[in-house]
């Protein structure tokens, strides 16, 4: 069985229906990938994550390396057995932390640049918290302050010990405030690390190469061409996505145009409900995003009618479910009034209930998009 099969290609857009065939089962694509940073979908038991319709989770190499350590996980049968998750798993490469601990933290910016930053990161600059060399990155552990090093070789060894079905090549995720010269040099480094990742990876795992290049069209295309020329099983699209969300799809399209059709594409760290259709229309097969779990822990539910902030007092007298058109067990069982009460009483059950609903909402939303592609409507 091939690793990835495209079942249907849309005539209206770059969207496609496919199946990933992995050691731990099949994944119908396009698929949303919930985030399990520390080997858990925050607030949920594994069976609750399964019930939410999650087909594939992504765990965090950097955090698991620091705590409890990949050897610890390996001794306990690998990540699947350790976290009692029998469906497919991905691990990221740890490279994103190069970014978020470095320039991203220095400038307080994320993946989409929402505020104007006065200064640009110039060629030769070094972020304050980390040191980037040709071989990898030195950084201090957020657990005990110890000085640690991760490069492509280390990342591949850690990801092999963790044992996910899909792993990512080690790369530098450039900051949205990096200038072109910096981004270009960073790309050379990331491409070298991509080749080293292929050399050191565990061949039992599927590996995705990551396309970088910031917001520069020529660099994005150059990166996509370079990475697709290597023997990767699929591709990740990483880094920043412009100054606003309308630029995001343009930038994804630059990259997708250069990637081969027969291999899967994963968009790293993006996927709010309002972005999902356009991401899928651009030809993305899987994407991960912290939104459903992150917002749930702040009392915010995603619904077919927009977001609800369930700790608001007005919900105390609301006998409706979170979303009247949702078929999840939370919506079948509990009222907004009850969940609002739990939020206001600081009861942690509220956070699990909203997380369960949010994940179900995201997964069924994407299932609906799959139906639309099937019917030729998207
Ligand atoms: Zn629900």
Query: pLDDT tens across 34-90, in order?
Result: 999 999 999 999 999 999 999 999 999 999 999 999 999 999 999 999 999 999 999
Q: Which of 233, 288, 318, 323 is catalytic?
A: 288
Q: Which of 92, 106, 165, 285 is catalytic?
A: 92
Q: In this structure, which residues have their CB less than 5 angstroms from ion ligand 1? A: 326, 328, 330-331, 357
- C-alpha 354 to ligand 1 mean position (Å): 8
Alpha carbon distance, N-terminus to C-terminus of the chain: 28
Please give the sequence-ordered ranges of beta strands (E in DSSP) within the chain, or none if there are none: 4-9, 16-22, 25-29, 31-33, 57-59, 89-91, 130-132, 137-140, 147-150, 166-168, 206-211, 234-237, 265-267, 286-288, 300-303, 306-309
Is 288 annotated in the active site?
yes
* Rounded Cα gap, residues 320 and 332, in angstroms: 10
> Which pTM was predicted?
0.92
Q: How many residues does the chain have?
A: 378
**Sequence-separated (6 or more) residues with CB below 8 Å from residue 233:** 3, 4, 166, 206, 207, 208, 263, 264
Nearest to 264 by CA among 207, 314, 226: 207
Residues of the chain with pLDDT under 70: 98-99, 101-128, 242-243
Is 92 annotated in the active site?
yes
- C-alpha 326 to ligand 1 mean position (Å): 5
- C-alpha 339 to ligand 1 mean position (Å): 12
Instruction: Identify the pLDDT of residue 52.
Output: 97
Instruction: Identify the pLDDT of residue 178.
Output: 80
Task: Give per-residue pLDDT as tens, 320-351.
Answer: 999 999 999 999 999 999 999 999 999 999 99
- C-alpha 358 to ligand 1 mean position (Å): 7
- C-alpha 15 to ligand 1 mean position (Å): 27
Distance of CA 259 to CAs 31, 240, 247, 265, Å?
Answer: 19, 19, 19, 9
């Amino acid at each position: 069985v091939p690793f990835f099969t495209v079942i249907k290609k849309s005539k209206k857009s770059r969207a496609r229906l496919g199946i990933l065939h992995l050691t731990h089962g099949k994944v119908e694509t396009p698929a949303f990938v919930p985030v399990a940073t520390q080997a858990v979908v925050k607030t949920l038991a594994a069976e609750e994550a399964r019930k939410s319709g999650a087909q594939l989770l992504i765990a965090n190499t950097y955090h698991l390396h620091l705590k409890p350590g990949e050897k610890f996980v390996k001794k306990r049968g690998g990540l699947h057995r350790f976290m009692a998750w029998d469906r497919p798993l991905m691990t990221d490469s740890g490279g994103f932390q190069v970014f978020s601990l470095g320039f991203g933290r220095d400038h307080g910016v994320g993946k989409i640049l929402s505020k104007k930053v006065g200064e640009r990161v110039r060629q030769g600059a070094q972020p304050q918290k980390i040191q980037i060399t040709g071989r990898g990155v030195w950084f201090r552990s957020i657990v005990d302050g110890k000085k640690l090093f991760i490069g492509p070789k280390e990342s591949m060894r850690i990801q092999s010990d963790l044992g996910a079905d899909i792993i990512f090549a080690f790369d530098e995720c450039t900051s949205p405030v990096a200038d072109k010269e910096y981004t270009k040099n960073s790309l050379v480094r990331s491409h070298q690390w991509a080749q080293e990742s292929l050399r050191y990876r565990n061949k039992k795992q599927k590996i995705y190469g990551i396309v970088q290049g910031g917001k520069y069209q020529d660099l994005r295309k150059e990166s996509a061409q370079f990475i697709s020329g290597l023997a990767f099983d699929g591709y990740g699209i990483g880094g920043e996505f412009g100054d606003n969300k309308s630029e995001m799809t343009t930038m994804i399209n630059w990259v997708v145009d250069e990637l081969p059709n027969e291999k899967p594409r994963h968009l790293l760290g993006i996927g709010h409900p309002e972005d999902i259709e356009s991401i899928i229309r651009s030809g993305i097969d899987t994407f991960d995003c912290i939104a459903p779990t992150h917002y749930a822990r702040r009392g915010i539910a995603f619904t077919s009618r927009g977001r609800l902030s369930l700790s608001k007092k007005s919900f105390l007298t609301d006998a409706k479910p979170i979303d009247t058109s949702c078929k999840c067990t939370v919506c079948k069982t509990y009222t907004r009034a009850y969940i609002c009460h739990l939020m206001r009483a600081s009861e942690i059950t509220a956070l699990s209930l909203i997380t369960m609903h949010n994940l179900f909402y995201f997964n069924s939303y994407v299932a609906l998009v799959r139906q639309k592609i099937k019917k030729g409507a998207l």
